[in-house]
A and B are shown apart, each in its own frame.
Chain A
Amino acid sequence: MPESVPASLILDAYKEIFREARGGRPTEPLGWVLSVPDTHQKSVLAALDKERALRTLTCATEDEANAIAAGLWIGGEPCILMIQHAGLYASINTLRGVAIDGKVPIFYMIGLLSRERDKDPSESRHSMVRWCEPLLDTFGVPHARLEGPDDVPLIAKYFKLSRERRGPAAVLVGLETM
């Protein structure tokens, strides 16, 4: 059965990822979080509000977040995108143009809002939940599920994967974070 993941564990993972991406160099900010607010990850967004080491930029759309991520990548700044499954659907053309065809490594944390605790996402009665993984598969985007605290290391693993393959990679947040 999936479990909710505490925001503090996710933020610690972000910080470690950014430190490593910068080769351990002390910098302010450590890295950027580009967010189109997601109800599913709201505890993480609330924690980010109080976090000084990470810079959070709220974007009006996921399309913008993808293009901003490209500019940050070109300028050597690490970033993570936090969006919802609906935002993935809305921005799939920009993901294709920037992260796939443009070969810009972009790592996404995608909230599976309304995912039922007792069902596999593929069996969800909500199309937004059900079609998210098939959509990522169609576009060849590697992805993993964050189904509990033990899965937190997947965040770093898929962030690195996006950089290694110079393209998109995603972690799907199974239950609402706490």
Chain B
Amino acid sequence: MKRPADLVTAMKPEEILKLIAAVRGDALCVPTMTTAPEWRDIAPDDLSISCVGFMGGASSLGLGLALSNPDRRVIVFDGDGSLLMQLGSLATIAGARPRNLTHLLFKNGVYHTSGAQNIPGGFDVDFVLMAKGAGYRTAYAIHEIDELKRRLPSLLRDEGPVFVELHTGLAEKTPMTARGGKSFPDQVEHLRKKLSA
């Protein structure tokens, strides 16, 4: 089974997040697990909410945000282990057809936070095929940072639901090595206030 370290060209999650931060505009962002600590540092604002305390829920949380904010882009930073916990959300999202949802999958093939155990199926699991089969409007994989730079404007603008599998190495931080940030209920309250203002 391939591991992220085997992939010479694996993208750095931190670099991906910086590129997204530079072009996201007023998009709502939903990081989870290993993207959460870095995103907190890159984008310390009230337009993001981390999926904390209910692993696997980022895609569904993003769907609820997309349905309640149809005029604003919502970007989910999902993990492969996380998505496997609520894989049915692919069909639920496809069925709801949110035009403003971009579902990014940071695929590293492991449960990084708990010690980098392989996810079931490891790096070979084809989430793009699953998203296409579920009915996402668009689904594709990106392997290299130059390709991401080229496709970034469209993946944040194209009619959703858009699914992009990003082939990454391991993040420098995890929620266990970089604790902190606002609690989930505080994030809920801040974002709700911000959106109703």
> Could you tell me which A residues sit within 8 Å of B by CB distance?
32, 57-61, 63-77, 93-94, 97-98, 101-104
Are A70 and B185 neighbours in the complex by a CB distance under 8 Å?
no
With contacts A57-B92, A60-B88, A60-B89 taken as known, whether A75 is within 8 angstroms of B54 at the C-beta atoms is: no
A74-B68, A76-B196 known; 17 new pairs, CB 8 Å cut-off, are A32-B67, A60-B88, A60-B92, A61-B86, A63-B54, A64-B63, A66-B54, A68-B64, A69-B64, A70-B64, A71-B62, A72-B67, A74-B192, A101-B53, A101-B184, A102-B54, A102-B184
Are B86 and A103 neighbours in the complex by a CB distance under 8 Å?
no
Are B49 and A67 neighbours in the complex by a CB distance under 8 Å?
no
> Is residue B141 contacting chain A, with contact meaning CB distance below 8 A?
no
Chain A residues with CB below 8 A from B49, complex form: 74
With contacts A60-B92, A101-B53, A102-B53 taken as known, whether A74 is within 8 angstroms of B60 at the C-beta atoms is: no
Residue of A58, A64, A70, A76 near B188 (CB, 8 A) is A70
Chain B residues with CB below 8 A from A93, complex form: 54
Chain A residues with CB below 8 A from B196, complex form: 76
B196 → A minimal CB distance (Å): 6
- Alpha-carbon separation in the docked complex, A74 to B191 (Å): 7
Are A67 and B60 neighbours in the complex by a CB distance under 8 Å?
yes
The majority secondary structure among interface residues of chain B is helix
Are B54 and A64 neighbours in the complex by a CB distance under 8 Å?
no
With contacts A64-B60, A98-B54, A101-B184 taken as known, whether A71 is within 8 angstroms of B67 at the C-beta atoms is: yes
Residue contacts A-B, CB under 8 angstroms, 26 given: A57-B67, A59-B88, A60-B86, A60-B89, A61-B88, A61-B89, A63-B54, A63-B56, A63-B57, A63-B60, A64-B88, A64-B92, A65-B60, A66-B54, A67-B51, A67-B54, A67-B60, A67-B61, A69-B64, A70-B57, A71-B64, A72-B64, A74-B195, A76-B68, A93-B54, A97-B53
> Is residue B96 contacting chain A, with contact meaning CB distance below 8 A?
yes
> Is residue B145 contacting chain A, with contact meaning CB distance below 8 A?
no
- Alpha-carbon separation in the docked complex, A108 to B73 (Å): 29
B129 → A minimal CB distance (Å): 18
Q: Which of A65, A69, A101 has the most CB of B within 10 A?
A: A101
- Alpha-carbon separation in the docked complex, A68 to B49 (Å): 13
The majority secondary structure among interface residues of chain A is helix
- Alpha-carbon separation in the docked complex, A40 to B142 (Å): 45
Task: Report the number of A-B residue pairs with Cβ-Cβ less than 8 Å.
Answer: 115
- Alpha-carbon separation in the docked complex, A103 to B88 (Å): 25
Residue of A71, A94, A98, A103 near B63 (CB, 8 A) is A71
> Is residue B117 contacting chain A, with contact meaning CB distance below 8 A?
no
State the 6 A-B residue pairs at the shortest beta-carbon distance, nearest first.
A71-B64, A75-B68, A60-B88, A67-B60, A97-B54, A67-B57
> Is residue B9 contacting chain A, with contact meaning CB distance below 8 A?
no
- Alpha-carbon separation in the docked complex, A101 to B65 (Å): 19
Chain A residues with CB below 8 A from B95, complex form: 57-58
Chain B residues with CB below 8 A from A69, complex form: 64
Near A by CB (< 8 A), chain B positions 33-53 give 49, 51, 53
**Considering only CB atoms, which chain A residue lies closest to B63 in the complex?**
A68
Mask: chain B, 76-96; 1 = CB below 8 Å from A; 0 = not:
000000000110110110011
With contacts A67-B57, A68-B61, A71-B60 taken as known, whether A59 is within 8 angstroms of B192 at the C-beta atoms is: no
